[in-house]
């Protein structure tokens, strides 16, 4: 979660139900400092990933593209070099709209002078961040286009992740499988030895 500063709302987890609960609880009041520190968000997000270079990594930045720090594209490029794909979902309108204060739409955020804060989608900057980050830019609208496009983009990463999980599951069950095979081998040897003693003096061909 980020605005003028970035915070970790929850650690990386495979528990999708918990993730949904956290996502539903997000609102502008969680970040008291106004602004759009995209670079800080990317840097903080990278620190949450494993250092394992064999694991595919991707981030999805949901933003209006207003880069108040001015170095988001450079940090996105650094992330791409480190193996982290930066995808951007652009939200808001190019014309601009007031920023809700509590997520209910009944009031709006104001600056230090009491003026209503207006957010405008800087699509050019959002696209640049995605380009330098080696990812995809999608403008969010009322359709499912953004979701489908993002799912397609992350499909290869998901395939790699699934393959890794399957490998891990087999690896965890190897000791049990090994013991079963060992027992079968011992039984076969005993049977073979017994048969060998029974037919030791039997000659089928003279």
User: Which pLDDT score is estimated for 6?
Assistant: 59
User: Domain 16-140, CATH 1.20.910.10 — does that match?
Assistant: no
User: Which pLDDT score is estimated for 184?
Assistant: 60
Q: Report the C-alpha gap between 38 and 2 in whole angstroms.
A: 7
Strands 84-90 and 134-139: parallel
Which are the contacts of 62, defined by CB distance < 8 A and separation ≥ 6?
88, 89, 91, 140
**Is the pLDDT at 36 greater than 70, yes or no?**
no
Of 151, 42, 140, 124, the closest CA to residue 86 belongs to 42
Phi, psi of 200 (to 5 degrees): -60, -40
Q: 72-81 vs 38-47: helix axis angle to the nearest 10?
A: 20
* pTM metric for this prediction: 0.60
Share of residues in the chain with pLDDT > 70 (%): 53
**Is the pLDDT at 204 greater than 50, yes or no?**
no
Three-state SS for the chain is CECCCECCCCCCCCCHHHHHHHHHCCCHHHCCCCCCCHHHHHHHHHHCCCCCCCCCEEEEEEECCCCCCCCHHHHHHHHHHCCEEEEEEECCCCCCEECECCCCCCCECECCCCCECEECCCHHHHHHHHHHCEEEEEECCCCCHHHHHHHHHHHHHHHHHHHHHHHHHHHHHHHHHHHHHHHHHHHHHHHHHHHHHHCCCCCCCC
Of these ranges, 29-33, 43-47, 101-105, 164-168, the one predicted with the greatest mean pLDDT is 43-47
User: Which pLDDT score is estimated for 145?
Assistant: 74
């Amino acid at each position: 979660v980020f605005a003028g500063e970035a915070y970790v709302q929850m650690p990386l987890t495979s528990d999708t139900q918990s993730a949904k609960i956290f996502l539903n609880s997000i609102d502008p009041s969680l970040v008291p400092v106004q602004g759009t520190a995209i670079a800080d968000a990317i840097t903080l997000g990278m620190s949450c990933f494993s250092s394992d270079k064999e694991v595919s990594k991707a981030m999805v930045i949901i933003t209006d593209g207003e880069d108040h720090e001015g170095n988001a594209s450079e940090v996105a490029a650094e992330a791409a070099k480190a193996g982290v794909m930066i995808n951007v979902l652009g939200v808001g309108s190019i014309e601009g709209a007031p920023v809700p204060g509590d997520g209910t739409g009944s009031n709006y955020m104001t600056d230090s002078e009491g003026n209503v804060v207006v957010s405008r989608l800087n699509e050019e900057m959002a696209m640049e961040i995605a380009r330098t980050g080696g990812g995809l830019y999608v403008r969010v609208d009322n359709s499912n286009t953004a979701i489908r496009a993002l799912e397609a983009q992350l499909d290869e990463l998901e395939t790699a992740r699934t393959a890794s999980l399957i490998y891990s599951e087999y690896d965890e069950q190897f000791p049990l499988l090994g013991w079963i095979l060992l027992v079968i081998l011992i039984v076969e040897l005993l049977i073979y030895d017994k048969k060998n003693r029974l037919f030791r003096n039997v000659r089928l061909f003279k």
